[in-house]
Amino acid sequence: MGTKLKKKGIRVSGFAGPLIAAILVAVIVGFTTDRFWNLGNLNNLSLAVSITALMAIGSTLVIFTGGIDLSIGSMIALITMAMATLIKFEGWPVIAGLLFAVILGAILGAFNGLFSAYLKVPPFVATLAGLSIFKGVAFLFNNGSPIFSIAGNFEVFFYGKLFGIIPLPLIYIAIFYIFFALYMNYSKLGREIYAVGGNEIAAKLSGINVKKVKFTTFVIAGAMAGVASILMASRLNSGSPNYGSGMELSAIAAAVIGGASLLGGRGNIINTLLGALIIIIVQNGLNLNAVPTSMQSITIGIIILIAVLIDMWKTEVAELFKKYFGKEA
């Protein structure tokens, strides 16, 4: 028996499902329209996926501990407004504004973490409250009106290209996903996040500071929302209290389609990126084929169901695969 081979097989199959799905979706969409495999379109795709993908890193970490964060969409509204106000009206240097965005995100995340990890409010409820509060606060800026033209050239963070070819958002995605993939695998906290999600009691009895771990994931989720806010504000060089609305759900959907278990402990950060890609490619495909928005929303919902169904019936699906293709998936 090839122990090594099998071991590899297990590791590979961790990505295989979502990867195959992403490729499959891309190929199918490619068949329906010749405008899909087109440099301009792919460029648009990478821009479109970037904000959700960056937010989804935080959502995924929270989900790994068995929690959920519903507030990061509202954070985008609050952070873009606060950042725009500081840069445009208070004369902060742009770089300070960017730093502020990330720090404010972390602080908002700490607020979620304080209530859900330390004060025992279930994360669903604590972040539902956060969703409402952050959104409300966002409307306090500029009398609730969007702020346009934050700074000259502010769009560069979203539309800029490295060496004139590679879209910057792609670089951000690469940096953050590679970092967090390594971090989850090779750091103490990464391991502890999975442990807490897998068995909270056992984690506590193994000497893991469960509350701190949960708290930290919320802070990371907030900080990542801060990073996403920068891109969001840069896209239209503006801040708006309506930005980010519903995006927390897209981020959660990306994690779930990528195979993260809402019960915690299982999943892989790279798969979340694949999950986000699947959503965006499908959306893009539907757009290119001029399918109305209503159908798009329905499609995304169906994809979520299919993804979770496959996850739930994995062994049975593998059996079927074996039966028809004669080897293990």
Partner 1 sequence: MEVEVFWQLKNITMRFPGVIALNDVSLDIYKGEIIGLIGENGSGKSTLIKCLSGINQPQKGEFYCQGKSVKIINSAVSQKLGVSTVYQEFSLVPTLTVTENIFLGRLLKDKKGFVDWRTMHEKTRSILDTMQIDIDENAIICNLSVAEQQLVEITKGYTANGSLMILDEPTTALTTPEIKRLHKLLRKLASTGHTIIYISHRIDTIMKFVDRIAVLKNGMLVGIVDISEITMDKIVKMMSGRQITEHYPKQRNVQDEVILKVENLTTEIGVNGVSFEVRKGEVFGLMGLLGSGRTEIARALFGVDKVTGGKIYFKGKEVKFNNPQQAIEARIAYITENRKTDGLFLNFNGPKNSTTARIKKLFKSKKLHILDLKKELKTYDESNKQLVIEPPLEYKFVSFLSGGNQQKVVISRWLFAEADFFIMDEPTQGIDVGSRIEIYNLINKFTAAGKGVLLISSDHLELLSMSDTIGNLKFGKITSIVDARDAGEKNNTN
Q: Which residues bind partner 1 (CB under 8 A)?
A: 3, 6-7, 10-11, 185-188, 191-192, 194-195, 197-199, 201-209, 265-266, 315, 319
Nearer to partner 1, 186 or 325 (CB): 186
Q: What is the DSSP string of 238-279?
A: EE-TTTTTTHHHHHHHHHHHTT--TTSS---HHHHHHHHHHH
Q: Which two tokens stand for residue 274?
A: 């694949």
Nearer to partner 1, 10 or 95 (CB): 10
**202, 206, 208, 214: CA torsion to nearest 10:** -10
Q: Which amino acid is at 193?
A: I
CB of 14 to partner 1, least distance (A): 11
CB of 240 to partner 1, least distance (A): 40
Backbone φ, ψ for residue 281 (5° rounding): -65, -45
CB of 207 to partner 1, least distance (A): 4
CB of 202 to partner 1, least distance (A): 5
CB of 184 to partner 1, least distance (A): 11
Nearer to partner 1, 192 or 248 (CB): 192
Q: Quote the CA–CA distance of 310 and 313 in Å, as a whole number.
A: 5
Nearer to partner 1, 163 or 325 (CB): 325
Nearer to partner 1, 197 or 222 (CB): 197
Q: Which amino acid is at 233?
A: A
